[in-house]
Structure 1
């Protein structure tokens, strides 16, 4: 049976759009969601976990419902169809899947910002690098040395290769447009309110825990892809996997730990350490037994991140094809 897989093709086209164009420069949908979430927070904030959970449920639930509506409407291909039929033609569904995928991915922009900091470090412009890195990390860069800035960049590239590339593609393959939009809503809320500040210690608890949950599988997939791609940066898969097994648990994040450890092992460097976030100091343990990071390692981290993105795109395309083929075969035909 011939099946046009609009989900799989849409994910692939969306990933290619992100690789070719990067993030939209204006009217970014994720930024728009953030503005809505900030406005709603003015009414929902209470120093309570329950209030934070309601805030997350309302925003994520609304986003998911919108995604489900788009998925169902655009999969209908005949006026008399009682149910969505994923066998096509699905051109509108393909286009909306690609647009959603492009909007929620951030691989090219991530690597571009990392390279920009690397260029400033190579020119010994520490002040410029400290200012530019604020778009990548939440830690205070004011007093970081060149090598500490390089470590921060590589850790951000590793973690966000999972959060901004692998995870959206994974959920897009699993759940189509609702998966893409729902995941990005959860991840954005975690970035906004999931950190451990006095204001968000309770209110942001649900956002942080939900983000941990939806990233658990993608983070380990990203770590596996990084280990598999280690030879592209002069490393070995065995060293990367060994570093994940030995050190990932030292990181306070259950998902950033495996990915950062895999990058450390693949690049043959040492990541982790003590980071300052305003008045809060966090010990992230030592990830890897290699040499300390230098600015020259940023280029290798970017190559590794690009390879992880390629692997994730291939797997997501195959997974979405299998899912849509499975659904098409299970759904009854009209008039049958």
Structure 2
């Protein structure tokens, strides 16, 4: 298990996401196709909820049958190869860091226009009028939150259930990304997708929050950062709109000694939100610090998984 996880993270570090023929593109097409066929014109909330459940099952079933079949069919080298390939395609740490750097570099040059355009690819809030500190805050939030979604949760489910586990997680996470909105169209239709994603991310998110706290402690050689991260996670994380993003971002902000959250502009209107973390407001250099925190947390995960593998053997 550990060798597969290490190999997949190294492949991701070397090559990053495939530029062409990424399976998630095909998955997105399949989800859209199912939605077109099951989303009706029902005015009933219950009808939309049932349609969303049926659509979720139709998306999941054939993919999971194929994953389980291949997992049982292949042996030896080919099974290991498939496991590394599957996990590599499910994680995206290098892509996340590259997106953050595309915001970070223009900010270093005081090119706010370019930075606003780049951060718009990471967040859903309006970015047209953001100042440098607000861009930095939004980018740090994205790095910390997606560190859990795009890296640690995938590793967790691979460690728990192998190839079928990580495939299920990635499909569930993509369904939530496409259907899990609180808009008029998806409020009921996407409810199953959103709730299942919340359930699958519950444990990984809290393990990520703990690893951020430990990584901040080790990195800064200060027990205060660990205590701050745990305190922010416990006191502030529960107040965030997402039950999993809140603890992750609060712990990360506490470990970095910065303040995140506080709301933003969505569709032209200011939406208030709780403050996460403590200390000074996020600054440009904190984008790079957030990326480093994710990397150090990954090293902690690899070390713990190595110990688990060694003890288990």
Q: Same fold (TM over 0.5)?
A: yes
- Alignment partner for residue 232 of structure 2, among 235, 243, 255? 243
Rate the CA distance shift 1:319–1:94 in 2: closer, same or farther, 3 A: farther
**1:264 aligns to what?**
253
**1:57 aligns to what?**
57
1:61-101 per-residue CA deviation (whole Å, 9 max, x = no partner) reads 222222111110113xxxxxxxxxxxxxx211100000001
**1:68 aligns to what?**
68
Structure-2 separation of matches of 1:179 and 1:160? 19
**Alignment check: 8 A CA contact 2:261 2:273 kept:** yes
- Alignment partner for residue 284 of structure 1, among 256, 268, 273? 273
**1:14 aligns to what?**
8
**Alignment check: 8 A CA contact 2:126 2:268 kept:** no
1:254-301 per-residue CA deviation (whole Å, 9 max, x = no partner) reads 100111001110110001111333267543311122111111111100
- Alignment partner for residue 136 of structure 1, among 122, 129, 140? 122
Matched, 1:177 2:178: no
Instruction: Give ranges in structure 2 of 5+ residues lacking alignment.
Output: 43-47
Matched, 1:195 2:199: no
The root-mean-square deviation of aligned C-alpha atoms, in Å, is 1.8
Task: Give the TM-score taking structure 2 as reference length.
Answer: 0.92
- Answer with 1 or 2: which has the greater Rg: 1
| 1:23 positional shift | 0.7
| 1:116 positional shift | 1.5
**Alignment check: 8 A CA contact 2:254 2:277 kept:** yes
Mapping of 1:220-239 within 5 angstroms? 220-231=206-217, 233-234=219-220, 236-239=225-228
Rate the CA distance shift 1:317–1:95 in 2: closer, same or farther, 3 A: farther
Structure-1 separation of matches of 2:308 and 2:79? 17
| 1:309 positional shift | 2.1
* Structure 1, 171-180 or 226-235: larger mean CA deviation: 226-235
Structure-2 separation of matches of 1:322 and 1:201? 46
**1:298 aligns to what?**
287
| 1:318 positional shift | 5.4
**Alignment check: 8 A CA contact 2:2 2:302 kept:** no
Q: Secondary structure at the match of 2:138?
A: helix
Rate the CA distance shift 1:284–1:259 in 2: closer, same or farther, 3 A: same
Return the structure number with greater relative CO, CA threshold 8 A, min gap 6. Answer: 1
**1:121 aligns to what?**
107
Rate the CA distance shift 1:108–1:58 in 2: closer, same or farther, 3 A: same
| 1:22 positional shift | 1.0
Q: Secondary structure at the match of 1:271?
A: strand
Task: Give the TM-score taking structure 1 as reference length.
Answer: 0.86
Mapping of 1:312-327 within 5 angstroms? 312-316=301-305
More helix by share: 2
1:136-186 per-residue CA deviation (whole Å, 9 max, x = no partner) reads 112221222111111110000011000000000000011100011110000
**Alignment check: 8 A CA contact 1:173 1:319 kept:** no
| 1:321 positional shift | 7.3
Q: Secondary structure at the match of 2:17?
A: coil
**2:32 aligns to what?**
38
**Alignment check: 8 A CA contact 1:10 1:96 kept:** no
Structure-2 separation of matches of 1:303 and 1:251? 24
